[in-house]
Structure 1
Amino acid sequence: MLKLTENADLQALNTLGIREQAQHLVCVESEAELRAALALAQAQNWPITLLGGGSNVLLAGPLPGLVIVMRSRGRRIVQRSAEGVVIEGEAGENWHALVNWSLDQGLSGLENLSLIPGTLGAAPVQNIGAYGVELKDSFDSLEALDRETGQVQRFTRVDCRFAYRDSLFKQAAGRYVILRVRLRLRAQPVLKVDYAPLAAAWQATGLQRPDARVVSALVCRIRSSKLPDPALLGNAGSFFKNPLVSAARLNELLAKHPQLPHYPQPDGQFKVAAGWMIEQAGWKGYRVGNVGVHSEQALVLVNFGTARGWEVSALANNIKQDILMRFGVELEMEPQRIG
Structure 2
Amino acid sequence: MSISISLKPFNTFGLDQRCARLVEVTSRNELIKECLKAFAADKPMLILGGGSNLVLTDDFDGTVIRILTRGIEVTETDDAFLLTVEAGENWHALVEHCLQHNMQGLENMALIPGTVGAAPIQNIGAYGIELNQMCDWVEYLDLQTGEVKRLSNEECLFDYRDSIFKGELRDRSVILSVGLRLAKMWQPNLSYGPLTEFSPDTVTAWDIFKKVCEVRQSKLPDPKVLGNAGSFFKNPVVTAAEYQRLATEFPGIVGYALSDGTVKLAAGWLIDQAGLKGYQQKGAGVHANQALVLVNLGEATGESVCELARYVIATVSAKFGVKLEPEPRVMGRNGEISI
When normalised by structure 1's length, the TM-score is: 0.94
Counterpart amino acid of residue 298 in structure 1: A
Cα drift, residue 227 of structure 1: 0.6
Does the alignment pair 1:61 with 2:58?
yes
Match of residue 36 from structure 1: 33
Give yes or no for contact 1:55–1:237 (8 Å, CA) kept in 2.
yes
**Closer, same or farther: CA 296–331 of 1 in aligned 2, 3 Å:** same
Match of residue 98 from structure 2: 102
Cα drift, residue 279 of structure 1: 0.4
Structure 2 unaligned segments of length 5 or more: list them.
333-339
In structure 2, distance between residues paired with 1:196 and 1:98? 23
Match of residue 19 from structure 1: 16
Match of residue 336 from structure 1: 329
In structure 2, distance between residues paired with 1:208 and 1:251? 34
Cα drift, residue 39 of structure 1: 3.7
- SS of the counterpart of 1:121? helix
User: What does the per-residue CA deviation read over 1:97-137, in whole Å, with 9 as the maximum and x for residues that have no partner?
Assistant: 11111011101110000011100000010110100000111
Match of residue 247 from structure 1: 240
In structure 1, distance between residues paired with 2:179 and 2:99? 16
Structure 1 unaligned segments of length 5 or more: list them.
none
In structure 1, distance between residues paired with 2:170 and 2:299? 29
1:173 aligned residue (166, 170, 175): 170
Counting aligned pairs with the same residue, the percent is: 45
Match of residue 131 from structure 1: 127
**Closer, same or farther: CA 5–151 of 1 in aligned 2, 3 Å:** farther
Give yes or no for contact 1:73–1:93 (8 Å, CA) kept in 2.
yes
In structure 2, distance between residues paired with 1:297 and 1:288? 17
Give yes or no for contact 1:16–1:303 (8 Å, CA) kept in 2.
yes
Counterpart amino acid of residue 114 in structure 2: G
User: What does the per-residue CA deviation read over 1:258-281, in whole Å, with 9 as the maximum and x for residues that have no partner?
Assistant: 211111112221111111111011
Cα drift, residue 38 of structure 1: 2.6
When normalised by structure 2's length, the TM-score is: 0.94
Give yes or no for contact 1:7–1:21 (8 Å, CA) kept in 2.
yes
Match of residue 154 from structure 1: 150
Cα drift, residue 76 of structure 1: 1.5
**Closer, same or farther: CA 301–84 of 1 in aligned 2, 3 Å:** same
Match of residue 336 from structure 2: none
Give yes or no for contact 2:3–2:61 (8 Å, CA) kept in 1.
no
Q: How does 1:70-89 map to 2 (within 5 A)?
A: 70-77=67-74, 79-89=75-85
Does the alignment pair 1:111 with 2:111?
no
Q: Which runs of 4+ in 1 moved over 3 A?
A: none
Match of residue 286 from structure 1: 279
Counterpart amino acid of residue 31 in structure 1: R
CA RMSD of aligned residues (A): 1.6
